[in-house]
Structure 1
Amino acid sequence: MRKPLMTYPQAQRAVWPLVSALALLLLWELLFRQFAVPVYLAPKPSDILSTLISQRDALFGSLLTTLKVTVLAFLMAIAIGTLIAFLFVQSRLIESCLMPWAILFQVTPVVAIAPLVIIWIHNTTLALVVCAMLVAVFPVLTNTTLGLRSVNPGLLNLFHINQASGWQILLRLRLPNALPYFFSGLRISSGLALIGAVVAEFVAGTGGSGAGLAWQILQAGFQLNLPLMFAALFLITCSGLALFCLMSLLSHLFLRRWHDSALA
């Protein structure tokens, strides 16, 4: 008998957040209509929806620009973070030399780094990608390193007794053990990549046809166009939620048949 794609408790976990969100939006709409809150103070959901429809070309074009920077930065963070984590596991000396630099970039605000990166890198898109990558790489690096190191000592001794090579230990023991940690890092890093992309766009202040959602927010602030500002914020929030759900789905697909967290 085929296992159902979604059990009743899982369906409840998916439905109730949607129900509560719709109830909150309805309450927001009714209260703002009842008290006649002016749109220049705070828009109603209907005002935001109207703006999304009337300015869909500009908003969704900006969304694609921001998502392009986010995805490129996220992929770069995965590649760099995973590679450095492998180096850390192979040598404690390399970890001692490089980890302080990773921590330094993590604790330094991206708004302080972004102007330098934009000056040094003449390609604006590449500069934005690098800024967002610097924000997103640390969770991948630390989580993957922790997963690669957190192997069962008994299993590690068993591999050594059977004269397994370093590559065999890495591929057959450390990598499977690191997958839950790795996907946990991806869930965090995907949101940070989006935050880094938006902050870098704010600092760059690039406008025109290739502008991202940050430019739409800046422009809306200058014009006191709050429905446009909320519409851009709504798209950013939905993008972050979609990235998190996608990473959670990938984690479930890779871990569902063997890891305790997915089986539970």
Structure 2
Amino acid sequence: MDEGDLVLIRAQILHDLGDLVPENYRTVAGPGIGKGRADWMLGRILAKKKSLMTERQALACQILLLLGLYRVANDALAEKKARRASEQIPSEKKTDEETELRESGNNVLFFEYQLRQYLTLYSMHLPKNKGHALTSLIVLDGYEPGSVAVSTPKIPLISSPPANSDEEHLAALFDPLTRAGIAALFNMIDKETWKNYFERAARNGLINARQQGLTEICYNPFLVGEWLIKNNTNCTRRQIDQKLANNLPRRSRSMKELFTGENDTHLYN
């Protein structure tokens, strides 16, 4: 995907979302925040308003989130490639450097594929001429813009946006942790409180963050963080994001910008 395609898509998306976009967004998401992080943050904000959206707007919201994820991943990959080209890397570090480069490339491909899927689905809700003009270069093969069905696509296609799909994409950046690991990560909460949270997981909703680990039941750090923001008044978005940023697994470290950055205060209000 080139920058021109992304700009056109973004313009259509923001037009569709209309008054749902916060008035202060365009001034806050300025030079202090990269384009990718700004779009990702706006996508997260708008995801809370999905009950007010049409199906087309809900898809637009998801695409905005994925645009942000794709931009951040692609920028991180470009930065790594530029650094590799300009620096002399010691032979003993070349293997690690190549591994990081490959992992960054995998992140780009993953988010690009997700973005293509949602664009294909979104295009079915657009007038035929807009569907062709906006997405002819980047949607999946085997569909007709403006139609209501997909004809034998070459790549398996999502049929509708899953519930909380924005959270699923972000949760996928993290590896599951044991209960002890979760308590150690979010150590601003005492161990006794965590014990009560885990024991009552089925009743308090924490069970929705549970994942099966290799040998025992684990929890996804991102989903736990989202749960804490909703259920513990002492936990702020900024606090949780900082914890997550510092504990990304190696395969996702190139996405750290999503959870850090300056000038975010107004977007959290």
TM-score exceeds 0.5: no
Q: Pick 1 or 2: higher relative contact order, CA cutoff 8 A, min separation 6.
A: 1
- TM-score for both structures, normalised by structure 2: 0.26
Q: Which has the higher helix share?
A: 1
- TM-score for both structures, normalised by structure 1: 0.26
Radius of gyration: which is bigger?
1
